[in-house]
Chain A
Amino acid sequence: MSDIEASAAQQEDIILELRGITKIFPGVKALNNVHFQLRRGEVHALMGENGAGKSTFIKVITGVHEPEEGQIFLNGQEVHFRNPKDASAMGIAAVYQHPTSYAQLSVTENIFMGHEIMKGRMIDWAAMNKEAQALLERLNANFRVTEEMGALSVAQQQMVEIAKALSTGAKIVILDEPTAALTANESKELYRIVDQLRDEGVSVIFISHRMEDMYRLATRVTVFRDSQYIGTYDVDKITTADLIKAMVGREISDMYPKPEVAIGGELLRIENFSRQGFFKDVSLNVHAGEIVGLTGLVGAGRTETMEAVCGITKPDSGKVYLEGRELSIRKPKDAMKAGIILLPEDRQRQGLILKWGLGRNVTLPIQEEMANSVFNNEKKERQVAREYLESVDTKAVTIFDAASSLSGGNQQKVVVAKALAQKNMKVVIMDEPTKGVDVGAKAEIYAIMGDLAKQGYGIILISSEMPEILGMSDRIYAMCKGRITGCLDRSEATQEKILELSME
């Protein structure tokens, strides 16, 4: 009884409601009869695996897609959005993970793109700069409105996008994976801004794969799975396990299947690695069967150090030993030949050729080993590609599917298959392997990592995600400002200790 009363009382507060939304693309039901309610001044998380329909749903709200069925109510009134302009005119704005900004224009120009303040037929620059300045001050931003957009960090660009949303008088702001590209500190700054928006009465829809974000920000969470509405829950009343089950549709008993492996002899040792401006005096080692976490804030020099180890860049000084023998690594091929394989951080730019089929991607580094003299052995390549893609359980129909057609998690599996196909692999360096990957695929990648450790490979896991570092690593190195600040054993590592070492 009290529940009904409570929900009746809240009826007044519903700013946006979607009922029975169905969106059909040729051959696919992207959304199947989904519901959604957003209260005024609420931060509402929207969660689900990649392909669950979140993005399509957002596009329905912002007027990019028109749904085949269903109704949209704004402040209790039914509305029809025929295009993004309609939605924007009614106070709905979206901020995407990778801001779609004009890199060569100023912050002011970006904020007012499309709705410039005019004085007669001319742009009123003074008024626009003033207004932009006011917006930035409101968000507590530490850069000037005259700065070029391209010179700003991703976090700052996002702030500009949020300012842009506010400049149109948005009452509903949608944030699509806003923290995916941010450092821990930058995420905190974003949290503060979201809190502020909420306090000012703006309603926020928040999409994220990070549980951390949801717990910190949202009061309610709506879960989609396989294009369907699963449920809406109060964040403080649902356990993580139940939430994951809602998203994945099955229970993940052990998110971090860290195997008990007898640690073998030393595989890789790095001594006194330095590169001016990036990292200094870095020394670390990895043993057979060991998973070594390398953590720290983004910009601490973790990726840069490992790229130097792999010959992508040249260090100023330092030595690399593999199984006790010193290596001379001048180019990426040298490291690969020795058996040090890097799974790069940005799989879309560094790890894959998106236009190419999966098979070609997997065999690119080993095409020469399989070739008949100088000629490609296409038949053998197809076989090998298929074998490794299947071994990591890639969700694909044929090896000729374009890499761009896969979800983030499956793209990562292709990158893993590409590494595994290099048979001489001894040490594998995984740089943020679960970035932008949904929770189901994350668990699969951890399982692969565990298998590799069992088979005696040495693994270096670069990650900013604390649960993953704590869950998977045998030892954890923390880096800060280009230096190793400490090494913790699995048994002694805690979130607090790591943070302390990372921040200094």
Chain B
Amino acid sequence: MAGKSGRTISAEPRGTVKKLLFSWESAMVLVFLGVILLGNVISPYYTLKNVFREMPKYLSEIFIMLAMGYILVLGDIDISVGSIVCLSATLACIADNAGLPFVLVVLICILTGLACGCLNGFIASHFTELPTMIITLGTQIIFRGIAEVSLGPGGSISLQNKDAIKLLSRKIGIIPVSFFVVLVFALIFIVVLGRTTFGRKLYAIGSNSTAAKYAGIDVQKIRWIVFTVAGTMAGVCALFFLASTYGASTTTGQGFEMEVIAMCVFGGIATTGGKGKLIGGFFAAFIIVCLRIALGQINMNTQLILVIIGAMLIVSVLIPAIGNALRLARKKAEKA
């Protein structure tokens, strides 16, 4: 059905293998392998068994990272997730202390996250002139405030029924159960974003929400859904957090939002929306986890580890900028 001029347009994808090899995501895989190598060089204890043993306390954040990736692709941001973790964990502990059965405790933990996310999404989708940074800054304070009020003067609470939650911190061989759960969630999130019509809509909204609306996409409904999912994942995170700490306090989940945003950005997901792949964020998360474990094993000071991770983040976002600058310089040199 060629047009009048008989001009044809190619529809064959080309250079896909090359593109894959030189992608940010493949760079992530290399860095990941580099971190493993580094761990083996600097620490004699950096065995598979030890790494898996120390992993659970870092794994729970990855649940939120997956949903944060969606939010960033939309061009939005959610900085209330850390507070949602705090509130979910707190209410779950209170339910547990009141003697409710474990199933209900789990349900309360996750549903609290869902409700918080739903509230964020409701505000974001109905008051579209408000930036989500500001909306979730507000709810961040509210959610943690509610948790602090519920916790009372002591400021912390412990689980009574620890046996049930230990189900989540069990191991299969040397690998913790939570690792498998993270893998399953990651697979689902990655496939949905990369391969489904829903994922395509997220990219469309993040690239140009007006054009997305004119193309028949219900932009506000989808934003609402994604914020709700993010809250729910914060609830899931809280559950696994409880499985490794057996309690909650006013500082639970503090800073999680920034850490997961850092993972996403490090993984190549742009905060401006419409760009990046979740698999990048996934590898970035494991790079950070494995690096933390390695540096922890040589007793490096926690604050110093944070400095290193921060520096890595800056360098990672600088790389494309440096690349562009080099290209410009080369062009100028050619001109002269």
Binding site for B on A (CB under 8 A): 312, 331-333, 336, 342, 344, 349-356, 358-360, 364-365, 367-368, 371, 374-376, 382-383, 385-387, 389-400, 418
Q: Is the interface of B mostly helix, strand, loop or mixed?
A: loop
- The minimal Cβ–Cβ distance linking A172 to chain B, given in whole angstroms, is 27
- The reply to whether the CB of B22 lies closer than 8 angstroms to some CB of chain A is no
- The reply to whether the CB of B197 lies closer than 8 angstroms to some CB of chain A is yes
The distance in angstroms between the C-alpha atoms of A386 and B192, with both chains bound, is 25
Given contacts A312-B213, A312-B214, A344-B214, contact A367 B10 (CB under 8 A): no
For A354, give its contact among B195, B208, B213 (CB under 8 Å): B208
29 A/B residue pairs, CB under 8 Å, sorted by A: A331-B216, A332-B213, A333-B216, A333-B218, A344-B214, A349-B208, A349-B210, A350-B210, A350-B214, A351-B214, A353-B274, A354-B208, A355-B208, A358-B9, A364-B212, A364-B215, A367-B197, A368-B197, A371-B197, A374-B192, A374-B197, A375-B196, A382-B11, A382-B13, A387-B1, A390-B3, A398-B9, A399-B11, A418-B215
Q: Is the CB of A375 within 8 A of B195?
A: yes
The interface residues of chain A lying within 8 Å CB-to-CB of B18 are: none
Q: Is the CB of B11 within 8 A of A398?
A: yes
Given contacts A350-B211, A393-B4, contact A367 B216 (CB under 8 A): no
Q: Is the CB of A386 within 8 A of B213?
A: no
The distance in angstroms between the C-alpha atoms of A247 and B10, with both chains bound, is 29
The interface residues of chain A lying within 8 Å CB-to-CB of B2 are: 390-391
The distance in angstroms between the C-alpha atoms of A290 and B222, with both chains bound, is 37
**Which residue of A is nearest B205, CB measured?**
A353
The interface residues of chain A lying within 8 Å CB-to-CB of B332 are: none
Binding site for A on B (CB under 8 A): 1-5, 7-14, 192, 195-198, 200, 204, 207-208, 210-218, 274
- The minimal Cβ–Cβ distance linking A450 to chain B, given in whole angstroms, is 12
Q: Is the CB of A376 within 8 A of B195?
A: yes
Q: Is the CB of A392 within 8 A of B211?
A: no
Given contacts A383-B11, A390-B8, contact A349 B218 (CB under 8 A): no
- The minimal Cβ–Cβ distance linking B155 to chain A, given in whole angstroms, is 45
For B9, give its contact among A349, A356, A390 (CB under 8 Å): A390
The distance in angstroms between the C-alpha atoms of A161 and B321, with both chains bound, is 33
Q: Is the CB of A392 within 8 A of B197?
A: no
The interface residues of chain B lying within 8 Å CB-to-CB of A398 are: 9-12, 14
**Which residue of B is nearest A350, CB measured?**
B214
The distance in angstroms between the C-alpha atoms of A394 and B5, with both chains bound, is 10
The interface residues of chain A lying within 8 Å CB-to-CB of B212 are: 353, 364
The distance in angstroms between the C-alpha atoms of A346 and B11, with both chains bound, is 27
- The minimal Cβ–Cβ distance linking B288 to chain A, given in whole angstroms, is 29
Given contacts A350-B211, A375-B195, contact A367 B200 (CB under 8 A): yes
Q: Is the CB of A332 within 8 A of B216?
A: yes
Given contacts A312-B213, A353-B211, A374-B196, contact A391 B10 (CB under 8 A): no
Q: Which 4 A-B pairs have the closest CB atoms?
A: A393-B3, A386-B11, A333-B216, A398-B10
The listed residue with most A CB atoms (<10 A of its CB), out of B12, B14, B192, is B12
**Which residue of B is nearest A413, CB measured?**
B3
Q: Is the CB of A393 within 8 A of B7?
A: yes
Q: Is the CB of B197 within 8 A of A396?
A: no
Q: Is the CB of A365 within 8 A of B4?
A: no
Q: Is the CB of A353 within 8 A of B214?
A: no
The distance in angstroms between the C-alpha atoms of A1 and B20, with both chains bound, is 70
Given contacts A364-B200, A374-B198, contact A353 B11 (CB under 8 A): no
**Which residue of A is nearest B335, CB measured?**
A66
**Which residue of A is nearest B4, CB measured?**
A393
The distance in angstroms between the C-alpha atoms of A393 and B211, with both chains bound, is 23
For B216, give its contact among A336, A389, A391, A394 (CB under 8 Å): A336
The listed residue with most B CB atoms (<10 A of its CB), out of A385, A396, A400, is A400
Given contacts A350-B210, A353-B207, contact A376 B215 (CB under 8 A): no
The interface residues of chain A lying within 8 Å CB-to-CB of B13 are: 382, 400
The interface residues of chain A lying within 8 Å CB-to-CB of B8 are: 390
Given contacts A353-B207, A376-B197, A397-B10, list 9 more A-B pairs with CB under 8 A.
A331-B218, A333-B218, A336-B216, A355-B207, A386-B9, A386-B11, A397-B9, A399-B11, A400-B13
**Which residue of B is nearest A347, CB measured?**
B211
The listed residue with most A CB atoms (<10 A of its CB), out of B10, B208, B213, B215, is B215
